Amino acid sequence: MNGCRGEQRGISRSWGALQTQGMGMNDSKTTMWVRGPIKALTMGVAAGGLVFALSGCETTGGGFESDSLGTLIGAGTGALLGSRIGGGSGRIVAGAAGAVVGGLIGREIARHLSQSGQQQMATANQRALDTGQTQVWEDPETGARGETAVSERSTRQQQVQVSVKRDRVDEIPPIDLIGATYVASTGSNVRGGPGTDYRSVGSLSSGQRVQVVGKVQGSDWYLISEGGAANGFVSSSLLRPVPAEQQAPVTPASSGGGDVMLVEASQTCNVNTTRVTQPNGEVVEDRIRICQGPDGYVIEEA
């Protein structure tokens, strides 16, 4: 399909946007952004969102295969998105807001599990990420045994692209990426910069949910976004994180909703390794790299 490869472009859907960064979809550095928490992939994709923009892509010389999107598991407890780019050797990126509750990009490993087992694996990846501890689980239908662990963890300082409403944001100092949904604990002003000496550009009401892009380094202020574009700062004392299971998908920025800026940011990455042992002794292993991004987690092949 012409829309499955070629020049730099974006494919927007209510639950996500696919962006190829100046290269063909057959290039090993193709990136796929999935707006919303990976938990939301459970709900959003199963409801007919993001991924189906790609589901009809057929492989021509190493691109997406017709079944490259693998198996999608819904039901609110987990999602498994099997995907391959260039026969599994390429870079797959999925952005998500908030904790990884029910999502996992896997490949061959998905075919060795039942739907229930896939959900167990998705939950184990979330718990391993949250706790840093190895998770042992079992597929209740096949008897396959699984083990999921964070095998690597690193933090890097780099420039990231953030969509920004320039008429509301005066400046963006370096931030620690968060990419999660928070709720206002009380009514508060939204400022054009990280401090009360900046102009007020809006307000939040008690109980209102917002997307937190990141926390200003060395400061108790969050950069928040609306409609997929950063639109101001709120004191961190006035916001609290929404539980992972309640994280909502991020609305992609509409045309004209914001200008893309390069922002200095600290990004933490984890490599999750999952080993599945079948009752017959066959072992399958899968590794994914999960990094924080401005709209949530970025998932890559490890």
Give percent of the chain with pLDDT exceeding 90: 43
131 and 165 part of one domain: no
CATH number at residue 235: 2.30.30.40
Closest CA to 212 of 293, 134, 123: 293
Burial class (CB in 10 A: 0-12, 13-18, 19+), 259: middle
69 and 209 part of one domain: no
**220 Cβ neighbours under 8 A, 6+ residues apart:** 235, 236, 237
Q: How many other CB atoms sit within 10 Å of the CB of residue 87?
A: 13
106 and 122 part of one domain: yes
pLDDT at 37 over 80: no
- Summarize pLDDT for 258-271 with one digit per residue, the tens: 899 999 999 999 99
162 and 148 part of one domain: no
Give the structural domain span for 57.
Answer: 2-155+269-301
> CA 146, CA 100: separation in Å to the nearest integer?
18
- Summarize pLDDT for 58-80 with one digit per residue, the tens: 333 333 332 233 323 222 223 33
Q: Per mean pLDDT, which of 51-65, 71-85, 98-112, 116-130 is the most reliable?
A: 116-130
Q: In the prediction, which pLDDT does 123 show? A: 82
Q: In the prediction, which pLDDT does 27 show? A: 33
31 and 121 part of one domain: yes
Q: In the prediction, which pLDDT does 1 show? A: 46
> CA 225, CA 214: separation in Å to the nearest integer?
10
Burial class (CB in 10 A: 0-12, 13-18, 19+), 69: buried
Contact yes or no for 267/160 (Cβ under 8 A): yes
Q: In the prediction, which pLDDT does 47 show? A: 32
Burial class (CB in 10 A: 0-12, 13-18, 19+), 209: middle
Q: In the prediction, which pLDDT does 251 show? A: 52
278 and 230 part of one domain: no
Q: In the prediction, which pLDDT does 24 show? A: 32
250 and 125 part of one domain: no
The count of structural domains within the chain is 2
Q: Which helix (H) or strand (E) holds 216?
A: strand 209-216
Q: Per mean pLDDT, which of 25-29, 84-88, 280-284 is the most reliable?
A: 280-284
Q: Which helix (H) or strand (E) holds 128?
A: helix 115-131
- Summarize pLDDT for 238-291 with one digit per residue, the tens: 999 987 656 665 554 444 478 999 999 999 999 999 999 999 999 999 888 888
pLDDT at 36 over 80: no
275 and 212 part of one domain: no
192 and 163 part of one domain: yes
- Summarize pLDDT for 179-230 with one digit per residue, the tens: 889 999 999 999 999 999 999 999 999 999 999 999 999 999 999 998 889 9
Structure-block tokens of residue 41: 């992939």
Q: In the prediction, which pLDDT does 246 show? A: 64
Q: Is the pTM of this model over 0.85?
A: no
pLDDT at 299 over 80: no
Which carries the bigger pLDDT value, residue 90 or residue 207? 207
172 and 190 part of one domain: yes
Residue type, 100: V
Q: Which helix (H) or strand (E) holds 151?
A: strand 145-164
Q: What rounded mean pLDDT belongs to the chain?
A: 70
- Summarize pLDDT for 136-185 with one digit per residue, the tens: 999 999 999 999 999 999 999 999 999 999 999 999 999 999 988 999 99
Q: In the prediction, which pLDDT does 277 show? A: 96
8 and 45 part of one domain: yes
102 and 92 part of one domain: yes
pLDDT at 23 over 80: no
